[in-house]
Amino acid sequence: MRWTLKPKPDSITVNALSDKLGVGLPVARLLVQRGIKSFEEAKKFFRPELKDLHDPFLMRDMERAVERIELAMAGEENILVYGDYDVDGTTSVALMSSYLKRRYPNVATYIPDRYEEGYGVSYQGIDYAADNDISLIIALDCGIKAIEKVTYAKEKGIDFIICDHHRPGSQIPEAVAVLDPKRADCNYPYDELCGCGVGFKLIQALAIRNDEPEETLLPYLDLVATAIGADIVPITGENRILAYHGLHVINVAPRKGISSLLGDRKNVSITDVVFIVAPRINAAGRMKHGQHAVDLLTEEDEETARKFAEEIEAFNTDRRSADKFITEEAKQQIIEQEEEERLTTVVYSENWHKGVIGIVASRLTETWYRPTLVFTKSGEKLAASARSVKGFDVYEALESCKDHIEQFGGHKYAAGLTLLESEYENFKRKFEEVVSESIDRKLLTPEISIDAEIDLKDITPKFYRILKQFAPFGPGNMSPVFLTRGLTDTGFGKCVGEDKTHLKCKVKQQNGPAFDVIGFNLGSKLDLIKDHKRFDAVYSLDENTWNGNTTIQLKLKDIRESV
């Protein structure tokens, strides 16, 4: 692990903010690091308000999108809400369809089959619309590259409104409206929305046009927060406002589907959404069909929602066993290839389940820490999920390999592609070549980015209370990571867990306070803390409740011997 300590912010600014807010210097430093330098900025950070959301009509084509939907309703046209099969796509479809159905009955939903149709807008989906006398498709979380498909729909008398957040290609589809803040010709002030976020801006615009009060949009924010967490978009700016209020909805009055997935959990955080809700919603599209997720997220009857949730739990159990089996097979392949000096990981088996190759790619990236692609057979072609390491743009690397690719799309750190089987070896060679020529070698060692060096005496109940209000955490606003030097174990350090892979101890620094410590997967470092050896630790803070007592504990990321 590379430990990288962020530069100390300017002390004059830190002192001024500390005085203005009445907080200690450690908190003021963390705020200044996050770009918060005034009382007003701190207020917006700690108490995000819906009134600070941008005007949706600042997004290019928003006026045209609203007009076309209003025209469809006035003319009693049939509308199809179309979205991808992952969390962002299914929450988007649930959001848009349930909002429109409040005012208008002729609304259907469509999620493409992951295996029959693949990612994005499909010809089958357009044919379904044509067969059912649908004249308007609203595509969410997909469509920005569907040039030919939008033209095909137009020939059948079907209009498209596209709400996407992926990077556009050189050409924009000839749809009635293309809402995508990443369009080069779109001046919308915030371009990090997820697909569901772009969908939310459209319903916000419709609400404004119809003089609906802001409160009518609140019940949809649990869906937006779920998509923000699952799609790993930055939790900054507008996303922070949406995630903050969306989590409030999840904790106070969630929709039946989300509630049935969470069970009795209280004080639900974005982490709970990412690790409990998102994998289960995803499991529907991975193992069966994404429409199951939409049904769950739009169901208003508690008993039916509970049944849907049980079904989805079964899909998730299947997903987990497939994921475990394929990960082991893929690891074996990599070990057998290890004699080659490679900077990339590319593995393939025609029998792997297409629905879990993305998860497997993430796990392999965690283990070998290099840009990774996992391929499987998909009809006549091969399909792959790509994952990257922090700091390396895998989408750009794929762009450089496009001569060997049929189609691809995605983001900086995660992408998907298809290619002909005959091109697999050529692609594998080219991808290795592109990465070797462009990657900074230090990116192949995982980095821990440290916010600040503090002493244990700085960790007071007040400090932690304020720290909790930095949430929701995520990219662009990660949970603060601290470095403390010269720690010693009080003598009870041990390995815990079924297979003794975790490290548990209690630490102090000179004569200061002692804190409980847990280090997941750090059991192998037990020797570093034995016999009162002094060590340095990098950690985040969380709470541990035991026998009704809640205490602050250090959650280790790494330790090393003190110099």
Same domain for 390 and 349?
Answer: yes
Same domain for 254 and 359?
Answer: no
Gap between the terminal Cα atoms of the chain: 17
In this model, does residue 30 exceed pLDDT 90? Answer: yes
Q: How far apart are CA 361 and CA 209, in angstroms?
A: 44
Same domain for 237 and 351?
Answer: no
Structural domain ending residue among the three candidates 293, 311, 329: 311
Does the residue 25 lie in any domain?
no
Give the CATH number of the domain where residue 412 resides.
Answer: 3.10.310.30
Does the residue 131 lie in any domain?
yes
Q: How far apart are CA 551 and CA 461, in angstroms?
A: 9
Same domain for 107 and 217?
Answer: yes
Structural domain ending residue among the three candidates 268, 293, 311: 311
Highest mean pLDDT among 122-136, 487-501, 505-519, 538-552: 122-136
Contact 260/223 with Cβ under 8 angstroms? no
Q: Which two tokens stand for residue 142?
A: 């997909």
Same domain for 432 and 454?
Answer: no
Q: Which two tokens stand for residue 464?
A: 């932690």
Same domain for 414 and 483?
Answer: no
Structural domain ending residue among the three candidates 444, 474, 502: 444
In this model, does residue 481 exceed pLDDT 80? Answer: yes
Same domain for 436 and 473?
Answer: no
Does the residue 22 lie in any domain?
no
Give the CATH number of the domain where residue 273 resides.
Answer: 3.90.1640.30
Does the residue 65 lie in any domain?
yes
How large is the average pLDDT for residues 136-159?
A: 97
Same domain for 163 and 183?
Answer: yes
Higher-pLDDT residue of 339 and 300 is: 300
Does the residue 317 lie in any domain?
no
The phi, psi pair for 351, rounded to 5°, reads -95, -5
Does the residue 280 lie in any domain?
yes
Reported as type and span, the H/E element at residue 4 is strand 2-5
Reported as type and span, the H/E element at residue 138 is strand 134-140
Residues 6+ away with beta carbon under 8 Å from 546: none
How large is the average pLDDT for residues 271-281?
A: 95
Q: What is the average pLDDT score of the chain? A: 95
Same domain for 355 and 293?
Answer: no
pLDDT of residue 232: 86
Give me the amino acid identity at 268. V
Does the residue 50 lie in any domain?
no
How large is the average pLDDT for residues 162-190?
A: 96
Does the residue 326 lie in any domain?
no
Same domain for 186 and 274?
Answer: yes
pLDDT tier at 339, thresholds 50, 70, 90 = low
pLDDT of residue 353: 92
Same domain for 81 and 211?
Answer: yes
pLDDT of residue 546: 85
* pLDDT tens string 371-389: 999 999 998 999 999 999 9
Give the CATH number of the domain where residue 528 resides.
Answer: 2.40.50.460
Same domain for 439 and 497?
Answer: no
How large is the average pLDDT for residues 426-448?
A: 96
Domain housing 252: 56-311
The phi, psi pair for 227, rounded to 5°, reads -65, -40
How many structural domains does the chain have?
3
pLDDT of residue 410: 81
